[in-house]
Chains A and B, each alone.
Chain A
């Protein structure tokens, strides 16, 4: 029986193999990643939850369709984030929208800690400023900052998701942090 307990007994790579034999096992992978990916999609796009869920469904269908192409040298999470990233960017381009970033309270805390920002008493004010500052950044900086400080991915994972060299990711984060702080300071 494919249930929560069963799902947690297997690693991602084992679940990939099991899903190839029986699509019911793919349920475990969907359950494990749907929330994280939904947040990620919403963070890098301007989509409402319903729109993001549509994108997410496509992400899982594409993941299943390409399951045999999964390279075990990668972490499954990096691979599925990459698919989610590409699918979302493709949807953003179709809608020609300028992404903004929906934040949870923990996200704001993480950002404030990471950027050494003086904490605001009013969270909604912080949220608005971070959102505005991030929205002003170029896509290449915004996406690495979101992956690094909101999704808490390490450099290697970000490199695998965005298909960029680790050194490039490092440079983008460094430059992105400076640009973000500059934009954030302007809003004070």
Chain B
């Protein structure tokens, strides 16, 4: 009933069309579902971003920065986590795309949305990294995904250049006087390493079965004169503070 109003033209046509064509409003569930999808996607992107940053932090914290003095900028170029930074860039673009699809997504500038995303993922990533999860996830990726190993900095390969004084592997024997060890590298070569005048991190255990990184010099007799010994795996975040304990 639409009495008492003049100029019914458009209103009458529209209402007649709605009724004749049986047009019904799209269900509220459809819009709710869309919202859930969009916000879940944003949540997922934030989560992946947090993980990415935790891995970046872990890689940067655990990087062998002391090698910078020896290798210079090429060391940074070799070890920089390009893959994760590129991933984050892509994730930030996707997050911005999905955020624009939310009801209020247009209210903020691109820089605010991307900046907010980066800030959120940096904070989350730092927390995860401090909790040690970044390193665990990174290790898990390295061990289980061959493609990932292909795109990431190859630590084993990097530490398998005795001619440059970079050796790594597992301790198979420690001499009685503790001055030499035998190290089986990742290419199954056995090395005799002199550690008598070596800087050893506090967390390094010189014992059979330990995996170590050795920075030193190859002498003419096929032995390595170690200058520094570092643990291969975890807990290296504060390594610089640990340095200083001499064998003798």
Contacts and interface: CB of A to CB of B under 8 A. Distances in A.
Interface of A: 1-5, 20, 23-24, 26-27, 30-31, 34, 38, 53, 56-57, 60-61, 64-69, 71, 73-74, 159, 163-168
B2 A3 contact: yes
Interface residues of B, number: 27
B38 to A, nearest CB: 13
Contact of A2 (B1, B14, B31, B107): B1
Contact of B18 (A61, A68, A159): A61
5 tightest CB-CB pairs across the interface, nearest first? A163-B106, A30-B11, A68-B28, A3-B4, A67-B25
B116 to A, nearest CB: 13
Nearest to A68: B28
A56 B10 CA distance: 8
Contacts of B5: 3-4, 31
A60 B103 CA distance: 20
Contact of A34 (B2, B11, B103, B104): B11
Interface of B: 1-5, 9-11, 13-15, 17-19, 23, 25-28, 30-31, 103-104, 106-109
Given A66-B26, A68-B30, 6 more contacts: A23-B18, A23-B19, A27-B2, A30-B10, A31-B5, A64-B14
A179 B18 CA distance: 43
13 contacts: A1-B3, A20-B25, A24-B15, A27-B2, A31-B11, A38-B10, A53-B10, A61-B17, A67-B25, A68-B25, A165-B106, A165-B107, A167-B109
Contacts of A73: 103-104
Interface centre among B26, B103, B107, B108 (most CB of A within 10 A): B107
Contacts of B109: 165, 167-168
A56 B17 CA distance: 13
Contact of B15 (A4, A26, A168): A26
B14 A60 contact: yes
Contacts of A5: 4
Given A1-B1, A27-B2, A53-B10, A68 B26 contact: yes
B18 A69 contact: no
A163 B101 CA distance: 11
Contacts of B1: 1-3, 24
Contacts of A168: 109
Given A4-B5, A65-B25, A66-B25, A71 B18 contact: no
Contacts of A167: 109
Contact of A64 (B2, B9, B25, B28): B25
Contacts of A60: 10, 14
Contacts of A34: 10-11
